[in-house]
Structure 1
Amino acid sequence: MSEKLHIIPHDHKIKKADRIAQKKHKPTILWFTGLSGSGKSTLASALEYKLHQEGINTYILDGDNIRNGLNKGLTFSDDDRQENIRRISEVAKLFVDAGIVVLTAFISPFKEDRAMARSMVESGEFIEVFVDCPLEICEQRDVKGLYQKARSGEITKFTGIDSPFEAPENPEITVQTHKLSLDESVDQLFKFVSKQIL
């Protein structure tokens, strides 16, 4: 007999609709995807600051931060990358249920994983933000020194070098951080996102 048969979710009195009514904005996952160095974390942080100033309840789930805690036991193999995104998707889903706008900044290189994350919430509660920046620009930035390590073989299975990045085909919004300043990028995102959540 499966142990899952003994797991019975509790039906709590306060529902997502009650939390939305209290917070006066729609909960949403803003899923930032793009190459390392494209500006995902920087953009998510700047957008969160602007949303917070407008009274929007937010939280950021950032790749490196999550791998220091919740997912610290995972490697960068394809299977562990998928498990990394699965766990993040489940956590993001909880934030949506809590009535919060959650910003996730992960490379999340595989389309299948991003589709799985989208499927966990209701229609309209997932905004895929493609932080589009060419590989050569990301390498020039190399803010963490990771590309240099990947090129030298010190790091393997690195997205964009010896592991693929499957670019989104139909993201809700694309931000080209190599063409726009941070302020311009945030303004573009804020105008789009505010229409979806307010």
Structure 2
Amino acid sequence: MTNHIYTTFEQIKGRDAKEVYLKQKGKVIWMTGLSGSGKTTLASALEKRLFELNYFCQILDGDNVRSGINRNLRFTEEDRIENIRRIAEVSKLFMNCGIILICAFISPTNEMRALAREIIGEDDFLEVFIDTPLEVCEQRDPKGLYKKARTGEIKNFTGISAPFEIPNQPFMVVDNTNADIKATVREMLKKIIPQVRWDPSEIL
């Protein structure tokens, strides 16, 4: 099937040129954690702060992807892996335009995250584990999903009836039990900014 696919990447302006234009390095900040851990909230706060610092970002999260490009997928193991594969491929396209991707997905298994890392590339994949305890996530339960999972209305729910595998060696671990979101984002920026900062001396 792929024998008749001819990419045009060689004809497109390269990633380096686009990073020079944007004055930043394209990276994928991959936030993983339980439902209710605060991934989307932190992603939004991080994007806002990076934008204020003149960095150009794009957020991808479960809701905006599942309602569009992946709306045909269900929540079987196979479809969840395919969900992550598509997200990683889209993220790589954005990243190759010099854009900083902030991805907020449960991505509960090491296999799923390894797949995303392989597609995006080891040097460009910044895995951030949002380490919020299950009991805190369940207390928050902004969408009422844990309640439905406890009653059996939702099957294979991560943290209740399906496992979440803690990342082996994440780029960063974030304790999101702190109510001060701004302070949490400041700590994240200390590690992220050196990764996305554009250094004009590198092209001389």
On whether the aligned pair clears a TM of 0.5, the verdict is: yes
Residue of structure 1 in register with 2:157 after alignment: 158
Higher deviation after alignment, 26-35 or 71-80: 71-80
Residue of structure 2 in register with 1:20 after alignment: 19
Residue of structure 2 in register with 1:120 after alignment: 119
Q: How far 1:180 moved relative to its partner? A: 5.5
SS at match of 2:176: coil
Q: Is the 8 A contact 2:89 2:120 kept in 1?
A: no
Residue of structure 2 in register with 1:38 after alignment: 37
Residue 5 in structure 1 maps to residue 14 in structure 2: no
Matching residue's letter, 2:68: G
Task: Kindly provide the CA deviation profile for residues 158-179 of structure 1, in whole angstroms up to 9, marking residues without a partner as x.
Answer: 0000011111011000101014
Distance across 2 between alignment mates of 1:143 and 1:121: 31
Q: Is the 8 A contact 2:33 2:132 kept in 1?
A: yes
Q: Is the 8 A contact 2:36 2:140 kept in 1?
A: yes
Change over 3 Å in CA distance of 1:13–1:152 after alignment to 2: closer
Residue of structure 1 in register with 2:107 after alignment: 108
Q: How far 1:118 moved relative to its partner? A: 1.1
Deviating 4+ runs (over 6 angstroms): none
Matching residue's letter, 2:96: D
Distance across 2 between alignment mates of 1:155 and 1:13: 45
Unmatched 5+ stretches in structure 1: none
SS at match of 2:102: strand
Distance across 2 between alignment mates of 1:124 and 1:46: 24
State how 1:40-189 maps to structure 2 within 5 Å: 40-179=39-178, 181-189=180-188
Q: Name the count of aligned residue pairs.
A: 196
Q: How far 1:191 moved relative to its partner? A: 1.4
Matching residue's letter, 2:60: L
Matching residue's letter, 1:7: I
Distance across 1 between alignment mates of 2:119 and 2:85: 10
Matching residue's letter, 2:36: G
Task: Kindly provide the CA deviation profile for residues 89-134 of structure 1, in whole angstroms up to 9, marking residues without a partner as x.
Answer: 0000001111100000000001111111111234421100100011
Residue of structure 2 in register with 1:196 after alignment: 195
Matching residue's letter, 2:187: Q
SS at match of 1:120: helix
SS at match of 1:137: helix
RMSD between aligned alpha carbons?
1.0
Identity %: 47
Unmatched 5+ stretches in structure 2: 198-204
